């Protein structure tokens, strides 16, 4: 029975790092917040919304009002529920926090009398970012630095494992180039996660991103984004490209492409969004889908839905 437990633990550990991607961004090549999903995961240089802390906490430094996000994700083998909030605080900077619950199907032990093993993951994160000005206009804060502290609790049957990690990020908009944004973040600096005798390090990842606002007027906004991820313990990389078009600040169309060394994992994804603005009050509903390729003959899709409220 112990060998069976260890075998199951090894399988679960290979997937338990996935919630870290959900909280810290895309450590594995699947982002989980709809706007980022639809843009191929290219979000390291995006800034100004509650989503930022999941991809680059420095982006929180550009948040100008309080925001709340609710998310539901229907995955191929799991589901995720996520709630997050962020906003400026009186002492300076922007503070954010999030809670993720990931449900997994029971693990059936075929050929044995033991009951199915239940498993789940819960992760909590707290983020803080501070913005600075590098130009003559002090009010134009074009540089941000941020940190994201994460705690994960994973349950496998009667066993529980916990660990902590941090993300460190910077965001920069060059003076005189308001259409360009750059982002850099180091993800998953932390402890190991251990079940029974199986111990696994969190996947340390360096993410670089850029954003270009190629069109911005009253009725039309076009944004392009690109990210590259360099897992520091691996000899491969993955990258994302994304595009977003917004009409009249109301309807948003998005498309993205995610590339990996393994060709089956390279996919095209997309999504839509609807916004409602009334003064400083904003409601945004976002949907995204991501194909999951299991083989050349097998293709399924994950669906992501979120509601974001700003006030």
Q: Which two three-digit tokens encode residue 73?
A: 């994700």
For residues 127-152, one letter each, b for 16 or more C-beta atoms within 10 angstroms of the residue's C-beta and e for the rest, the string is bbbbbeeeeeeeeebbbbbbbbbbeb
Q: Which two three-digit tokens encode residue 207?
A: 């993410």
Query: Could you tell me if 143 and 171 are in contact, meaning their C-beta atoms sit under 8 angstroms apart?
Result: yes
User: 91: which residues sit within 8 A by CB, 6+ positions away?
Assistant: none
* pLDDT for the residue 295: 58
* pLDDT for the residue 297: 61
Cα(57)–Cα(125) distance, integer angstroms: 11
* CA neighbor of 229 nearest in space, from 5, 73, 28: 28
Q: Is 261 left (phi over 0), alpha (psi -120 to 50) or beta?
A: alpha
The 3-state DSSP class for residue 3 equals helix
* pLDDT for the residue 145: 98
Q: What is the mean pLDDT of each run of 10 residues along the chain (311 residues)?
A: 41 36 34 89 94 94 96 84 96 95 78 74 94 81 96 85 93 93 95 77 91 94 96 86 96 94 74 92 95 68 94 91
* pLDDT for the residue 9: 41
User: 46: which residues sit within 8 A by CB, 6+ positions away?
Assistant: 35, 36, 52, 55, 56, 59, 181, 183, 209, 211, 225
* pLDDT for the residue 263: 55
* pLDDT for the residue 108: 72
Record the pTM: 0.86
According to DSSP, residue 47 is labeled -
Query: Could you tell me if 232 and 68 are in contact, meaning their C-beta atoms sit under 8 angstroms apart?
Result: no
Q: Which domains, ranges and CATH numbers included, belong to the chain?
A: 2-310 (2.40.160.60)
Q: What are the φ and ψ backbone dihedral angles of 59, each rounded to 5 degrees?
A: -65, -20
* CA neighbor of 21 nearest in space, from 94, 162, 121, 129: 121
Q: Which two three-digit tokens encode residue 175?
A: 């003076």
* pLDDT for the residue 292: 77
* pLDDT for the residue 228: 95
* pLDDT for the residue 238: 87
């Amino acid at each position: 029975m112990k060998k069976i437990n260890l075998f199951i633990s090894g399988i679960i550990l290979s997937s338990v790092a996935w919630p870290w991607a959900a909280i810290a961004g895309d450590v594995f090549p699947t982002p989980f917040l709809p706007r980022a999903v639809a843009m191929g995961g290219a979000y390291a240089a995006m800034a100004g919304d509650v989503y930022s802390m999941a991809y680059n906490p420095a982006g929180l430094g550009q948040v100008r009002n309080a925001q709340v996000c609710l998310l539901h994700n229907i995955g191929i083998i799991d589901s995720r529920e996520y709630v997050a909030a962020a906003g400026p605080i009186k002492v300076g900077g922007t503070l954010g926090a999030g809670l993720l619950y990931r449900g997994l199907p029971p693990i059936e032990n075929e050929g044995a009398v033991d009951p199915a093993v239940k498993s789940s993951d819960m992760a909590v994160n707290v983020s803080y970012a501070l913005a600075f000005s590098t130009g003559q206009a002090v009010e134009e804060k074009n540089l941000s630095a941020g940190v994201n502290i994460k705690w994960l609790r994973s349950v496998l049957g009667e066993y529980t494992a916990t660990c902590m990690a941090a993300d460190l990020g910077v965001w920069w908009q060059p003076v005189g180039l308001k259409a360009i944004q750059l982002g850099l973040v180091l993800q998953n600096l932390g402890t190991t996660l251990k079940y029974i005798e199986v111990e696994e390090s969190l996947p340390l990842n360096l993410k670089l991103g850029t954003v270009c606002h190629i069109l911005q007027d009253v009725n039309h906004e076009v944004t392009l984004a690109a990210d590259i991820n360099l897992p520091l313990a691996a000899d491969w990389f993955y990258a994302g490209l994304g595009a977003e078009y917004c009409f009249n600040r109301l309807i948003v169309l998005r498309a993205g492409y995610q590339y990996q060394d393994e060709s089956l994992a390279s996919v095209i994804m997309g999504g839509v969004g609807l916004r409602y603005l009334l003064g400083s009050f904003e409601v945004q509903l976002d949907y995204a889908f991501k194909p999951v390729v299991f083989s050349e003959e097998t293709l399924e899709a994950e669906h992501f839905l979120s509601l974001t409220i700003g006030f």
